[in-house]
Amino acid sequence: MRYAETGFNLEIDLSRGSIERVETDPRLTPLHLGGQGTAAKILWDRVPPELDPFSPDNLLIFSTGLLHGTPVPGANRTAVNTFSPQTNFYSHSLFGGFFGPELKHAGYDKIIIRGKSSDLVYLWIHDDKVEIRDATHLRGKGAIETGALIKEELKEPEAQVAAIGLAGENRVYMSTIEHSNSSASRGVGVIMGDKKLKAIAVRGTKDINVARPAELFEICDRQYREIYDNPNCGCVFRHEDDESWHINNFAWGNARERRKGMWTQEREAEWAATTRKYTVRWTSCYNCPKDCHISIAYPGRQRYQLKCYSKLTYSMAAYEELDFNYSILGLTQEYGLDGFTTPQLLAFAVELYEAGILTDQDMPGFPATTAERFFWLVEKIARREGIGDVLANGVYWAARQIGKGAEEFDHNTMKKFEQVPLKLSMVNFPYFLMYATGEKMNITQIEGSYPQVPIADREEREEFVAGWEAAPERFKRWFLDWEPREHQSIEASVNIADWNETMHYIDDTIGTCAFLSSFRGQFGGRPPYHIYNLPQFVSCATGMELDDSDLWKIAARNRNLIRALNIRRGLRRSDEKPPEDHWKKRDPEMEQKMLDAYYEFKGWNSEGIPTRKTLEALSLEYVADDFEQRGILPEGEGTPLQEAVQRAGNR
Amino acid sequence: MNDQKVTKNVKEIKVDLDKCIGCRACEIACSAFHSRPRFGATNPARSRIRVVIDELNDVYVPIRAGDYTPAECTGRHKYTINGKEYNECSFCGVSCPSRDYFKEPDSGLPLKCDMCEEDPTLSEPWCVQVCRCDCLTYVEREELVEAEDEPRGEMELGLESLMNKYGVEKVLDAVARVSSKR
């Protein structure tokens, strides 16, 4: 018997209209766990690096986490993986809600979609019965509305639906997949739209078996209560009216400036009143007591659920009050547009117009106020109409298509992807490393375990460290010695980057929410899940005996395999740099030293390519073989002397 | 019929609809508690408490499995409460043919909430214990009720349901027929 996982994937070929239920290889679970880990293995095996992301042979994989459908609280984030036409690299997205656990109960660990349908379809999975159904009547329908319409036509109010909106249908690069209170962003909706798959509806009623049920239930029951009581987890801003953290620290407009003094008591009271006016209810995801989402009823808009920092992104990009954000979100979530990247794209377009690079000829009828302009642009982009067809390719590509100096306004992308609008003063080395080397295109998917800033008061710092169960010993030492305005050492920086990303790589495989784990330790240092208690949850559920170092190693294996996917598609050291102006004061020499040290720590060569030795230690020999065959690694590479020579040569 | 009054312990679960966050922990806990072996599997489809959710209309209603009925009702009432419209079904705990709630997914047999009165009886039903947002609260109170006659035994209950299904005559005929063969 397979524990925690179902042992079956659903393979859908939309070109041929075929549906297969395929047993998975049980040996992959101890190597990769599940979720993103096993998805990466499938992408490695089946999608050659030459393949265009818009090829029918590109795969779109929905993965449940290994712990979905078990009683483990907060295990509900579904991973979506494919290759992105925007970056031409691996694309990784996660969404919460109820979809993953429902899919698990239907009897599947993953849905692997290949091919392209000739017209719009949706997938209906009801336990063993799986159908590809016509969705032409849903063309142009909103992403959230589509969910409701499908449930109604199937007479299945309990079905869980993930759908794309108009933006996805039109292959807009920043389109999302929307489900319940969550969105899958970072460029996966575009591939779903390319395959002409409007939605997936799933209903599952089967049991999931776990290895040590009584013990697991007991620790989960305790954990559920702990999560509820713990103020340092979940979305800590969800019930807060004080928005000063984002308002003061994040940049406005096209990631241009921080506005100190903008946040006042009067504004706080006004914005709080705005939120109250539209708030219907706070809601949570499956089996989690943290109500991180707000159900919003804005007059004239489809009801939607607000999450996280997208509460402010549009207002800050447009220099508008909060009401504007609630209004435009009601539209953009229905169109299925990413609430992080879209506002930056819109602000970028407004800047180009004001600079005379885009003119009234490009944008006939472009309104006068920023708020109206944003709405105008959203309509054009979602439909790929006129200038919208160019902008729908994201800031990087649009800038190059438009030309005439538009490239200068593309100052906040990295690896061709829009970054969080942060403009800071002094370079922070762990962050430099995470930005530069991350495969996930957004810092929020990489940072999170080690605090962003030191605690000035020594006594407070000691107290923090004393109860810091989540941290391996070495980090406690580094944090104790970290004084304000001081840099962390090379050794510390490298380790911090490594620990932060490792925790995400664990969440991504088992399906636990980063707000309870990998993202939350940095604020308060008391995340409910951490490297030392997670092994027990995984062991009780799966029956695999593992400890913190095993978990760390699995995360490293997945990290290297995903790295390899991008290396095979051409990623090299020269791509690994944060946006030029992310920090005002840079230290290029030290940054390169940091990068060298990080690569060395990871067992990568000076180009950031995992060496044979590293790959073999992680049972990824087949990656090394492939690299050598393709000439990415020289044969017999990996000896220290060769590495030193190569490093010297590259300088 | 005796007309004596006796006190009876009445157990209730109160539901505050405004407090539900839709986490469905009650469903998970219920299905785990009632699975064999206990906690062996979690499966909301087997739960005896279900949260009726309609996100777009802000309907979040936990309902508990009550009686079984072989026939659908008309279910045509629409209730407007504080400006919000609810279907009659949203409040109904009956295991009926018109929906999937409260049926074993494998056998289709009806499920019924027992307030976790298994041995040993829990101080509070499990769903209430896990509901951290206090949407579900447990209340016990004493009520004066008319004393029932002798409690009916299993045989009486069984005969009664046979009579309900086939009519008295057919049951009597069957009893006569079967006993004559012995």
The burial of B12, by beta-carbon neighbours within 10 Å (0-12 exposed, 13-18 middle, 19 or more buried), is given as exposed
Q: What is the pLDDT of residue B121?
A: 80
Q: What is the pLDDT of residue A640?
A: 54
Q: How far apart are CA A545 and CA A185, in angstroms?
A: 34
Q: Contacts of residue A157 in chain B, CB cutoff 8 Å? A: 52-54, 99
Q: What is the pLDDT of residue A593?
A: 98
**Cβ-based contacts under 8 A for chains A and B:** 94
pLDDT digits (tens, 9 = 90+) for A456-495: 999 999 999 999 999 999 999 999 999 999 999 999 999 9
Min Cα separation A319/chain B (Å) = 30
pLDDT beyond 80 at A106: yes
Beta strands in A284-409, from DSSP E residues, in sequence order? 293-296, 304-307
Q: What is the pLDDT of residue B182?
A: 79
pLDDT digits (tens, 9 = 90+) for A556-578: 999 999 999 999 999 999 999 99
∠ at Cα B7 (B4, B9), nearest 5°?
145
The answer to whether A606 touches A571, Cβ cutoff 8 Å, is no
Min Cα separation B125/chain A (Å) = 14
CB within 8 Å of A32: residues ≥ 6 apart: A38, A40, A41, A509, A554, A557, A558, A561
| Inter-chain residue contact B22 with A288, CB threshold 8 Å | no
Peptide bond into A157 cis (omega under 30): no
List the single residue in A with minimal CA-CA distance to B20: A283
DSSP percent split of chain B into helix, strand, coil, nearest 5: 30, 25, 45
Q: What is the pLDDT of residue A638?
A: 54
Of B21, B25, B132, the CB nearest to A283: B21
CB within 8 Å of B47: residues ≥ 6 apart: B26, B27, B28, B30, B31, B111
Min Cα separation A156/chain B (Å) = 9
Q: Contacts of residue A281 in chain B, CB cutoff 8 Å? A: 18, 21, 58, 60
CB within 8 Å of A418: residues ≥ 6 apart: A174, A340, A341, A344, A345, A394, A395, A412
- What does the buried/exposed string (b/e) look like for A106-122 if buried means 16 or more CB atoms within 10 Å of the residue's CB? bbbbbbbbbbbbeebbb
Min Cα separation A288/chain B (Å) = 6
Task: Report the half-sphere exposure of B144 (CA within 13 A, side-chain side).
Answer: 3
Q: What is the pLDDT of residue A490?
A: 98
Q: Which of B8, B56, B41, B32 is nearest to B130 (CA)?
A: B32
Min Cα separation A551/chain B (Å) = 25
pLDDT beyond 60 at A147: yes
Provide the angle, in degrees to the nearest 10, between the axes of the packed helices A322-335 and A265-278.
40
Q: Which of A504, A503, A506, A498 is nearest to A538 (CA)?
A: A506
| Inter-chain residue contact A281 with B58, CB threshold 8 Å | yes
User: Chain B 107-136, CB below 8 Å of chain A: which residues?
Assistant: 130, 132-133
Confidence of residue A641 (pLDDT cuts 50, 70, 90): low
The burial of A150, by beta-carbon neighbours within 10 Å (0-12 exposed, 13-18 middle, 19 or more buried), is given as buried
Of A105, A205, A283, the CB nearest to B22: A283
pLDDT beyond 90 at A651: no
∠ at Cα A236 (A314, A348), nearest 5°?
20
List the single residue in A with minimal CA-CA distance to B127: A221
Min Cα separation B71/chain A (Å) = 18
Q: Contacts of residue B40 in chain A, CB cutoff 8 Å? A: 209, 213
Q: What is the pLDDT of residue B150?
A: 72
Is B174 within 8 Å of chain A by CB? no
| Inter-chain residue contact B37 with A214, CB threshold 8 Å | yes
Q: What is the pLDDT of residue A68?
A: 98
Mean pLDDT value across residues A439-445: 94
Q: Contacts of residue B100 in chain A, CB cutoff 8 Å? A: 158, 205
Confidence of residue A628 (pLDDT cuts 50, 70, 90): very high
Q: What is the pLDDT of residue B4?
A: 78
Confidence of residue A139 (pLDDT cuts 50, 70, 90): very high
pLDDT digits (tens, 9 = 90+) for A362-399: 999 999 999 999 999 999 999 999 999 999 999 999 99
Percent of all residues in chain A with a pLDDT value above 70, rounded to a whole number: 98
User: Chain B 32-61, CB below 8 Å of chain A: which residues?
Assistant: 32, 35, 37-46, 52-56, 58, 60
Q: Structure tokens of A112?
A: 């692997």
Which residues, given as ranges, of chain B have pLDDT below 70?
1-3
The answer to whether A208 touches A114, Cβ cutoff 8 Å, is no
The answer to whether B44 touches B50, Cβ cutoff 8 Å, is yes
Mean pLDDT value across residues A508-537: 97
CB within 8 Å of B100: residues ≥ 6 apart: A158, A205, B45
Min Cα separation A521/chain B (Å) = 23
Q: What is the ipTM of this complex?
A: 0.93
Which residues of A sit within 8 Å Cβ distance of B? Answer: 69-71, 73, 98, 105, 144, 148, 157-158, 180-181, 204-210, 213-214, 216-218, 221, 224-225, 228, 280-289, 291, 295, 297, 302-303, 305
The burial of A163, by beta-carbon neighbours within 10 Å (0-12 exposed, 13-18 middle, 19 or more buried), is given as buried
pLDDT digits (tens, 9 = 90+) for B125-140: 999 999 999 999 999 9
Min Cα separation B91/chain A (Å) = 15
Q: A207 phi and psi, to 5 degrees?
A: -80, 155
Is B163 within 8 Å of chain A by CB? no
Confidence of residue A646 (pLDDT cuts 50, 70, 90): low
Q: Contacts of residue B32 in chain A, CB cutoff 8 Å? A: 71, 213, 217
3-class secondary structure, A488: coil
Q: Contacts of residue A297 in chain B, CB cutoff 8 Å? A: 58
Q: What is the pLDDT of residue B6?
A: 87
3-class secondary structure, A436: helix
Q: What is the pLDDT of residue A637?
A: 59
List the single residue in B with minimal CA-CA distance to A218: B39
Q: Tokens 């969910």 sit at which residue?
A: A147
Min Cα separation B31/chain A (Å) = 10
Q: What is the pLDDT of residue B120?
A: 81
pLDDT digits (tens, 9 = 90+) for A15-39: 999 999 999 999 999 999 999 999 9
Q: What is the pLDDT of residue B74?
A: 85
3-class secondary structure, A196: coil
pLDDT digits (tens, 9 = 90+) for A55-101: 999 999 999 999 999 999 999 999 999 999 999 999 999 999 999 99
Mean pLDDT value across residues A319-337: 97
The answer to whether A537 touches A219, Cβ cutoff 8 Å, is yes
Beta strands in A229-375, from DSSP E residues, in sequence order? 279-283, 293-296, 304-307
DSSP lists the bridge partners of residue B80 as B85
Q: Which of A412, A360, A418, A393 is nearest to A580 (CA)?
A: A412
> Which domains, ranges and CATH numbers included, belong to chain A?
8-203 (3.60.9.10), 230-418 (1.10.569.10), 424-650 (1.10.599.10)
Q: Which of the residues B23, B51, B134 would you substitute to probe the A interface, choosing the one with the greatest number of A C-beta atoms within 10 Å? A: B23
Q: What is the pLDDT of residue B62?
A: 97
Count of C-beta atoms within a 10 Å radius of residue B143:
10
Q: Which of the residues A5, A216, A220 would you substitute to probe the B interface, choosing the one with the greatest number of B C-beta atoms within 10 Å? A: A220
pLDDT beyond 90 at A311: yes
∠ at Cα A406 (A257, A83), nearest 5°?
90
Confidence of residue A643 (pLDDT cuts 50, 70, 90): low
